[in-house]
Protein backbone atom coordinates (compact mmCIF):
# COMPACT_ATOMS: atom_id res chain seq x y z
CA UNK A 1 0.00 0.00 0.00
CA UNK A 2 1.26 3.46 -0.93
CA UNK A 3 1.79 6.03 1.84
CA UNK A 4 -0.08 9.19 0.92
CA UNK A 5 -0.29 12.75 2.20
CA UNK A 6 -3.70 14.39 1.94
CA UNK A 7 -3.89 18.12 1.26
CA UNK A 8 -7.07 20.09 1.85
CA UNK A 9 -7.49 23.86 1.67
CA UNK A 10 -10.53 25.44 3.29
CA UNK A 11 -12.01 28.16 1.07
CA UNK A 12 -15.07 28.48 3.31
CA UNK A 13 -17.53 27.11 0.72
CA UNK A 14 -18.26 23.54 1.92
CA UNK A 15 -18.23 21.55 5.14
CA UNK A 16 -14.46 21.25 5.23
CA UNK A 17 -14.17 18.45 7.80
CA UNK A 18 -16.72 16.30 5.95
CA UNK A 19 -14.95 16.95 2.66
CA UNK A 20 -11.57 15.93 4.11
CA UNK A 21 -13.09 12.78 5.65
CA UNK A 22 -14.48 11.94 2.21
CA UNK A 23 -11.02 12.39 0.66
CA UNK A 24 -9.64 9.95 3.24
CA UNK A 25 -12.26 7.37 2.19
CA UNK A 26 -11.56 8.00 -1.49
CA UNK A 27 -7.83 7.51 -0.92
CA UNK A 28 -8.35 4.24 0.92
CA UNK A 29 -10.78 3.07 -1.76
CA UNK A 30 -8.04 3.67 -4.34
CA UNK A 31 -5.56 1.59 -2.33
CA UNK A 32 -3.55 4.36 -0.65
CA UNK A 33 -2.76 4.68 3.06
CA UNK A 34 -3.22 8.31 4.18
CA UNK A 35 -0.53 8.74 6.84
CA UNK A 36 -0.70 12.52 7.19
CA UNK A 37 -3.06 15.36 6.33
CA UNK A 38 -1.94 18.94 5.67
CA UNK A 39 -4.65 21.58 5.82
CA UNK A 40 -4.87 25.34 5.51
CA UNK A 41 -7.13 28.28 4.73
CA UNK A 42 -7.03 30.60 1.75
CA UNK A 43 -9.30 33.07 0.06
CA UNK A 44 -8.48 31.69 -3.39
CA UNK A 45 -6.04 29.21 -4.96
CA UNK A 46 -2.50 30.24 -5.83
CA UNK A 47 -2.02 30.36 -9.59
CA UNK A 48 1.35 28.61 -9.56
CA UNK A 49 1.01 25.77 -7.02
CA UNK A 50 -2.58 26.09 -5.72
CA UNK A 51 -1.08 26.60 -2.23
CA UNK A 52 1.34 29.31 -1.18
CA UNK A 53 5.08 28.77 -0.96
CA UNK A 54 4.96 28.41 2.84
CA UNK A 55 2.27 25.72 2.71
CA UNK A 56 4.13 23.96 -0.11
CA UNK A 57 7.22 23.79 2.11
CA UNK A 58 5.06 22.44 4.97
CA UNK A 59 3.83 19.68 2.64
CA UNK A 60 7.41 18.90 1.60
CA UNK A 61 8.51 18.63 5.24
CA UNK A 62 5.58 16.30 6.01
CA UNK A 63 6.54 14.14 3.02
CA UNK A 64 10.06 13.71 4.36
CA UNK A 65 8.91 13.04 7.93
CA UNK A 66 6.29 10.43 7.06
CA UNK A 67 8.06 8.87 4.04
CA UNK A 68 5.22 9.73 1.69
CA UNK A 69 5.21 8.49 -1.91
CA UNK A 70 2.04 10.18 -3.15
CA UNK A 71 0.39 13.57 -2.53
CA UNK A 72 -3.39 13.76 -2.98
CA UNK A 73 -5.12 17.13 -3.24
CA UNK A 74 -8.79 17.47 -2.34
CA UNK A 75 -9.25 19.84 -5.26
CA UNK A 76 -9.04 19.97 -9.04
CA UNK A 77 -5.57 21.14 -10.10
CA UNK A 78 -4.68 22.76 -13.39
CA UNK A 79 -1.98 21.01 -15.48
CA UNK A 80 0.48 23.80 -14.62
CA UNK A 81 -0.25 23.61 -10.88
CA UNK A 82 0.19 19.84 -10.89
CA UNK A 83 3.46 20.09 -12.84
CA UNK A 84 4.85 22.80 -10.53
CA UNK A 85 3.89 20.86 -7.40
CA UNK A 86 5.56 17.68 -8.65
CA UNK A 87 8.76 19.56 -9.40
CA UNK A 88 8.82 21.22 -6.00
CA UNK A 89 7.72 18.24 -3.90
CA UNK A 90 9.62 15.65 -5.97
CA UNK A 91 6.68 13.31 -5.59
CA UNK A 92 3.75 12.26 -7.74
CA UNK A 93 0.77 14.56 -7.22
CA UNK A 94 -2.83 13.64 -8.04
CA UNK A 95 -5.93 15.77 -7.68
CA UNK A 96 -9.46 14.82 -6.71
CA UNK A 97 -10.53 14.26 -10.30
CA UNK A 98 -7.63 11.91 -11.05
CA UNK A 99 -8.25 10.01 -7.81
CA UNK A 100 -11.91 9.38 -8.65
CA UNK A 101 -10.98 8.33 -12.18
CA UNK A 102 -8.48 5.84 -10.75
CA UNK A 103 -11.11 4.30 -8.48
CA UNK A 104 -13.51 4.01 -11.41
CA UNK A 105 -10.79 2.28 -13.46
CA UNK A 106 -10.32 -0.28 -10.68
CA UNK A 107 -14.04 -0.97 -10.21
CA UNK A 108 -15.42 -1.07 -13.76
CA UNK A 109 -16.33 -4.67 -14.62
CA UNK A 110 -18.63 -4.57 -17.64
CA UNK A 111 -17.44 -3.90 -21.19
CA UNK A 112 -19.46 -0.69 -21.26
CA UNK A 113 -18.13 0.48 -17.90
CA UNK A 114 -14.54 -0.06 -18.99
CA UNK A 115 -15.13 1.90 -22.19
CA UNK A 116 -16.66 4.78 -20.24
CA UNK A 117 -13.79 4.90 -17.76
CA UNK A 118 -11.17 4.83 -20.52
CA UNK A 119 -12.91 7.67 -22.34
CA UNK A 120 -13.03 9.77 -19.18
CA UNK A 121 -9.36 9.10 -18.45
CA UNK A 122 -8.25 9.99 -21.98
CA UNK A 123 -10.24 13.23 -21.92
CA UNK A 124 -8.57 14.11 -18.63
CA UNK A 125 -5.14 13.11 -19.94
CA UNK A 126 -5.52 15.23 -23.07
CA UNK A 127 -4.93 18.41 -21.06
CA UNK A 128 -1.87 16.93 -19.34
CA UNK A 129 0.08 15.28 -22.16
CA UNK A 130 2.81 17.90 -21.94
CA UNK A 131 3.79 16.54 -18.51
CA UNK A 132 5.13 13.40 -20.12
CA UNK A 133 7.63 15.53 -22.05
CA UNK A 134 8.69 17.92 -19.28
CA UNK A 135 12.15 16.32 -19.26
CA UNK A 136 12.87 18.11 -22.58
CA UNK A 137 12.58 21.44 -20.81
CA UNK A 138 15.60 20.54 -18.68
CA UNK A 139 17.68 20.05 -21.83
CA UNK A 140 17.06 23.33 -23.62
CA UNK A 141 19.28 23.78 -26.60
CA UNK A 142 20.02 20.08 -26.87
CA UNK A 143 20.71 19.34 -30.52
CA UNK A 144 18.07 17.12 -32.03
CA UNK A 145 15.84 17.10 -28.98
CA UNK A 146 13.33 19.87 -29.57
CA UNK A 147 11.99 18.66 -32.92
CA UNK A 148 11.44 15.00 -31.95
CA UNK A 149 9.90 16.10 -28.68
CA UNK A 150 7.32 18.22 -30.42
CA UNK A 151 6.72 15.55 -33.06
CA UNK A 152 6.17 12.85 -30.42
CA UNK A 153 3.78 15.08 -28.50
CA UNK A 154 1.78 15.77 -31.63
CA UNK A 155 1.75 12.04 -32.39
CA UNK A 156 0.49 11.26 -28.89
CA UNK A 157 -2.27 13.84 -29.25
CA UNK A 158 -3.31 12.44 -32.64
CA UNK A 159 -3.39 8.85 -31.38
CA UNK A 160 -5.28 9.92 -28.27
CA UNK A 161 -7.80 11.81 -30.39
CA UNK A 162 -8.35 8.79 -32.61
CA UNK A 163 -8.90 6.55 -29.59
CA UNK A 164 -11.37 9.00 -28.06
CA UNK A 165 -13.30 9.10 -31.34
CA UNK A 166 -13.37 5.29 -31.49
CA UNK A 167 -14.62 5.02 -27.90
CA UNK A 168 -17.39 7.52 -28.54
CA UNK A 169 -18.57 5.54 -31.56
CA UNK A 170 -18.67 2.31 -29.56
CA UNK A 171 -20.49 3.96 -26.66
CA UNK A 172 -23.03 5.48 -29.05
CA UNK A 173 -23.73 1.97 -30.34
CA UNK A 174 -24.27 0.71 -26.79
CA UNK A 175 -26.52 3.69 -26.09
CA UNK A 176 -28.70 2.78 -29.07
CA UNK A 177 -28.91 -0.81 -27.82
CA UNK A 178 -30.06 0.45 -24.41
CA UNK A 179 -32.66 2.65 -26.09
CA UNK A 180 -34.02 -0.40 -27.95
CA UNK A 181 -34.25 -2.33 -24.68
CA UNK A 182 -36.07 0.57 -23.00
CA UNK A 183 -38.57 0.80 -25.86
CA UNK A 184 -39.25 -2.93 -25.45
CA UNK A 185 -39.93 -2.38 -21.75
CA UNK A 186 -42.26 0.51 -22.54
CA UNK A 187 -44.19 -1.62 -25.03
CA UNK A 188 -44.68 -4.24 -22.34
CA UNK A 189 -45.80 -1.49 -19.90
CA UNK A 190 -43.05 -2.43 -17.45
CA UNK A 191 -42.64 0.23 -14.77
CA UNK A 192 -38.99 1.30 -14.38
CA UNK A 193 -37.40 2.36 -11.07
CA UNK A 194 -33.83 3.56 -10.57
CA UNK A 195 -31.92 3.75 -7.31
CA UNK A 196 -29.91 6.96 -7.08
CA UNK A 197 -27.99 8.56 -4.26
CA UNK A 198 -24.68 9.69 -2.87
CA UNK A 199 -21.89 7.13 -3.02
CA UNK A 200 -21.88 4.69 -0.09
CA UNK A 201 -25.46 5.54 0.86
CA UNK A 202 -26.38 1.85 0.70
CA UNK A 203 -27.98 1.61 -2.75
CA UNK A 204 -26.55 -1.80 -3.61
CA UNK A 205 -27.44 -3.22 -0.19
CA UNK A 206 -31.00 -1.99 -0.68
CA UNK A 207 -31.03 -3.35 -4.24
CA UNK A 208 -29.97 -6.79 -2.99
CA UNK A 209 -32.54 -6.71 -0.19
CA UNK A 210 -35.40 -5.87 -2.56
CA UNK A 211 -34.41 -8.17 -5.44
CA UNK A 212 -32.57 -11.00 -3.65
CA UNK A 213 -29.74 -10.35 -6.10
CA UNK A 214 -26.04 -10.67 -5.34
CA UNK A 215 -24.81 -7.31 -6.61
CA UNK A 216 -21.48 -6.26 -5.11
CA UNK A 217 -22.02 -4.17 -1.98
CA UNK A 218 -19.30 -2.89 0.34
CA UNK A 219 -18.66 -0.09 2.81
CA UNK A 220 -16.54 1.87 0.36
CA UNK A 221 -16.96 4.69 -2.12
CA UNK A 222 -18.03 3.73 -5.66
CA UNK A 223 -18.58 0.05 -4.90
CA UNK A 224 -21.01 0.01 -7.83
CA UNK A 225 -20.14 1.38 -11.28
CA UNK A 226 -22.11 -0.78 -13.68
CA UNK A 227 -25.89 -0.57 -13.84
CA UNK A 228 -27.61 -3.77 -12.74
CA UNK A 229 -31.32 -4.38 -13.36
CA UNK A 230 -33.69 -6.98 -11.92
CA UNK A 231 -37.43 -7.61 -12.02
CA UNK A 232 -39.31 -7.27 -8.73
CA UNK A 233 -42.85 -8.44 -8.05
CA UNK A 234 -44.95 -5.93 -6.07
CA UNK A 235 -48.27 -7.65 -5.51
CA UNK A 236 -51.25 -5.96 -7.16
CA UNK A 237 -49.14 -3.65 -9.36
CA UNK A 238 -47.26 -6.62 -10.83
CA UNK A 239 -43.63 -6.65 -11.90
CA UNK A 240 -41.32 -3.64 -12.08
CA UNK A 241 -37.73 -3.27 -13.24
CA UNK A 242 -35.38 -2.00 -10.52
CA UNK A 243 -31.94 -0.66 -11.52
CA UNK A 244 -28.93 0.00 -9.30
CA UNK A 245 -26.76 2.86 -10.58
CA UNK A 246 -23.41 4.50 -9.90
CA UNK A 247 -23.27 6.73 -6.84
CA UNK A 248 -22.86 10.49 -7.07
CA UNK A 249 -20.32 12.57 -5.19
CA UNK A 250 -19.44 16.18 -4.48
CA UNK A 251 -17.58 17.78 -7.39
CA UNK A 252 -18.11 14.77 -9.63
CA UNK A 253 -15.63 15.23 -12.51
CA UNK A 254 -17.34 16.58 -15.61
CA UNK A 255 -15.49 13.99 -17.67
CA UNK A 256 -17.35 11.28 -15.76
CA UNK A 257 -20.76 12.92 -16.10
CA UNK A 258 -20.22 12.99 -19.87
CA UNK A 259 -18.56 9.59 -20.20
CA UNK A 260 -21.14 7.80 -18.06
CA UNK A 261 -24.09 9.25 -19.90
CA UNK A 262 -25.03 5.84 -21.31
CA UNK A 263 -25.18 4.37 -17.80
CA UNK A 264 -26.96 7.38 -16.34
CA UNK A 265 -29.58 7.25 -19.08
CA UNK A 266 -31.12 4.38 -17.13
CA UNK A 267 -31.85 7.07 -14.55
CA UNK A 268 -33.06 9.64 -17.09
CA UNK A 269 -35.61 7.21 -18.54
CA UNK A 270 -36.89 5.78 -15.25
CA UNK A 271 -40.51 6.24 -14.21
CA UNK A 272 -39.58 6.67 -10.55
CA UNK A 273 -36.38 7.43 -8.63
CA UNK A 274 -35.64 6.02 -5.19
CA UNK A 275 -33.19 8.58 -3.81
CA UNK A 276 -31.25 6.66 -1.15
CA UNK A 277 -29.83 8.81 1.65
CA UNK A 278 -27.33 7.86 4.35
CA UNK A 279 -29.43 8.90 7.34
CA UNK A 280 -26.43 8.56 9.66
CA UNK A 281 -24.35 11.13 7.76
CA UNK A 282 -23.81 14.52 9.41
CA UNK A 283 -23.93 16.17 5.96
CA UNK A 284 -26.91 14.25 4.56
CA UNK A 285 -28.72 17.38 3.38
CA UNK A 286 -25.65 18.54 1.46
CA UNK A 287 -25.43 15.07 -0.10
CA UNK A 288 -29.10 15.24 -1.10
CA UNK A 289 -28.42 18.59 -2.76
CA UNK A 290 -25.38 17.22 -4.59
CA UNK A 291 -27.37 14.32 -6.02
CA UNK A 292 -30.18 16.63 -7.13
CA UNK A 293 -27.62 18.89 -8.83
CA UNK A 294 -26.29 15.97 -10.90
CA UNK A 295 -29.84 14.79 -11.67
CA UNK A 296 -30.53 18.25 -13.06
CA UNK A 297 -27.34 18.11 -15.17
CA UNK A 298 -28.37 14.82 -16.79
CA UNK A 299 -32.00 15.87 -17.29
CA UNK A 300 -33.54 13.62 -14.63
CA UNK A 301 -34.85 16.37 -12.36
CA UNK A 302 -38.40 16.01 -13.70
CA UNK A 303 -38.84 12.40 -12.62
CA UNK A 304 -40.96 11.61 -9.52
CA UNK A 305 -38.79 10.78 -6.55
CA UNK A 306 -39.10 9.18 -3.12
CA UNK A 307 -36.43 9.78 -0.52
CA UNK A 308 -35.34 6.55 1.17
CA UNK A 309 -33.59 7.38 4.42
CA UNK A 310 -31.34 4.33 4.84
CA UNK A 311 -29.08 3.25 7.74
CA UNK A 312 -31.50 4.35 10.47
CA UNK A 313 -29.88 1.58 12.53
CA UNK A 314 -26.80 3.85 12.71
CA UNK A 315 -28.83 6.97 13.60
CA UNK A 316 -30.25 6.52 17.13
CA UNK A 317 -32.45 9.62 16.90
CA UNK A 318 -34.17 8.16 13.83
CA UNK A 319 -34.22 4.53 14.95
CA UNK A 320 -36.11 5.56 18.08
CA UNK A 321 -39.13 6.43 15.93
CA UNK A 322 -38.77 3.22 13.94
CA UNK A 323 -39.36 2.62 10.23
CA UNK A 324 -42.12 4.80 8.83
CA UNK A 325 -43.56 6.58 5.82
CA UNK A 326 -43.86 10.36 5.68
CA UNK A 327 -46.23 12.19 3.37
CA UNK A 328 -46.83 15.71 2.10
CA UNK A 329 -50.00 17.76 2.55
CA UNK A 330 -51.62 15.98 -0.42
CA UNK A 331 -50.96 12.55 1.03
CA UNK A 332 -48.18 11.65 -1.38
CA UNK A 333 -45.24 9.60 -0.10
CA UNK A 334 -42.14 11.77 0.35
CA UNK A 335 -39.85 9.80 2.69
CA UNK A 336 -39.48 6.22 3.87
CA UNK A 337 -37.17 5.37 6.77
CA UNK A 338 -35.44 1.97 6.50
CA UNK A 339 -32.34 -0.06 7.24
CA UNK A 340 -31.48 -2.14 4.19
CA UNK A 341 -28.73 -4.02 6.03
CA UNK A 342 -31.04 -5.16 8.84
CA UNK A 343 -34.16 -5.47 6.70
CA UNK A 344 -36.02 -2.84 8.73
CA UNK A 345 -38.87 -1.05 6.97
CA UNK A 346 -38.54 -2.86 3.62
CA UNK A 347 -42.23 -3.88 3.62
CA UNK A 348 -43.14 -0.22 4.11
CA UNK A 349 -40.91 0.73 1.18
CA UNK A 350 -42.49 -1.88 -1.08
CA UNK A 351 -45.94 -0.61 -0.09
CA UNK A 352 -44.89 2.99 -0.75
CA UNK A 353 -43.61 2.07 -4.22
CA UNK A 354 -46.77 0.14 -5.04
CA UNK A 355 -48.94 3.04 -3.85
CA UNK A 356 -46.96 5.48 -5.98
CA UNK A 357 -47.30 3.32 -9.09
CA UNK A 358 -51.04 2.93 -8.55
CA UNK A 359 -51.57 6.66 -8.06
CA UNK A 360 -52.94 8.39 -11.18
CA UNK A 361 -50.40 10.41 -13.17
CA UNK A 362 -52.42 13.60 -12.71
CA UNK A 363 -52.16 13.28 -8.94
CA UNK A 364 -48.40 12.87 -9.19
CA UNK A 365 -48.03 15.88 -11.44
CA UNK A 366 -50.01 18.16 -9.14
CA UNK A 367 -48.55 16.98 -5.84
CA UNK A 368 -45.71 18.24 -3.72
CA UNK A 369 -43.28 21.06 -4.29
CA UNK A 370 -40.05 21.34 -6.19
CA UNK A 371 -36.85 20.63 -4.21
CA UNK A 372 -36.04 24.35 -4.02
CA UNK A 373 -39.24 25.05 -2.10
CA UNK A 374 -39.03 22.29 0.48
CA UNK A 375 -37.77 23.05 3.98
CA UNK A 376 -34.31 21.81 4.96
CA UNK A 377 -34.07 18.03 5.28
CA UNK A 378 -37.71 17.61 4.35
CA UNK A 379 -36.59 15.58 1.35
CA UNK A 380 -37.74 15.78 -2.21
CA UNK A 381 -41.38 15.07 -2.93
CA UNK A 382 -42.69 14.33 -6.39
CA UNK A 383 -41.49 16.81 -8.96
CA UNK A 384 -44.11 18.72 -10.89
CA UNK A 385 -43.13 17.27 -14.26
CA UNK A 386 -43.39 13.56 -13.53
CA UNK A 387 -43.45 11.26 -16.54
CA UNK A 388 -45.61 8.48 -15.16
User: What whole-number distance in Å separates Cα of residue 2 and Cα of residue 21?
Assistant: 18
Contact 44, 12 (CB under 8 A): no
CA proximity to 108, closest of 258, 263, 243, 310: 263
Instruction: Provide the 3-class DSSP secondary structure of residue 318.
Output: helix
Q: Which residues are annotated as a binding site for Mg(2+)?
A: 204, 224
70-73 vs 92-94, strand pairing mode: parallel
**Left (φ > 0), alpha (ψ -120 to 50) or beta: where does 106 sit?**
alpha
Where b means 16+ CB within 10 Å and e means fewer, 11-50 reads eeebebeebbebbbbbbebbebebbbbbeeeeeebeeebb
7 beta partners? 38, 73
- Rg (Cα) of the chain, in Å, rounded? 23
Contact 63, 55 (CB under 8 A): no
CA distances, 270 to each of 35, 178, 306 (Å) = 43, 13, 13
Contact 136, 130 (CB under 8 A): no
Q: How far apart are the first and last CA of the chain?
A: 49
CA proximity to 277, closest of 357, 203, 366, 375: 203
CA proximity to 110, closest of 229, 271, 234: 229
**Longest CA span, the chain:** 80
Q: Which residues are annotated as a binding site?
A: 197-204, 222-226, 244-247, 310-313, 339-341
Q: Which residues are annotated as a binding site for GTP?
A: 197-204, 222-226, 244-247, 310-313, 339-341
Amino acid sequence: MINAALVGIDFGKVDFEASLAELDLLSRSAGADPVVAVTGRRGSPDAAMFVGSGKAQEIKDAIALHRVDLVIFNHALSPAQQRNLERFLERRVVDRTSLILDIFAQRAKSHEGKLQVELAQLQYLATRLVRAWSHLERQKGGIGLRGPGETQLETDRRLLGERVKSLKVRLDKLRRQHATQRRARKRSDTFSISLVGYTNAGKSTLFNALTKAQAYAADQLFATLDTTSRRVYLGEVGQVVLSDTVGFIRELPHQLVAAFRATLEETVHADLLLHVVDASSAVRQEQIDQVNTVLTEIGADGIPQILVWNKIDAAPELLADGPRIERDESGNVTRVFVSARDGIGLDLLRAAIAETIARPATALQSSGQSPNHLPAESGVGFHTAGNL
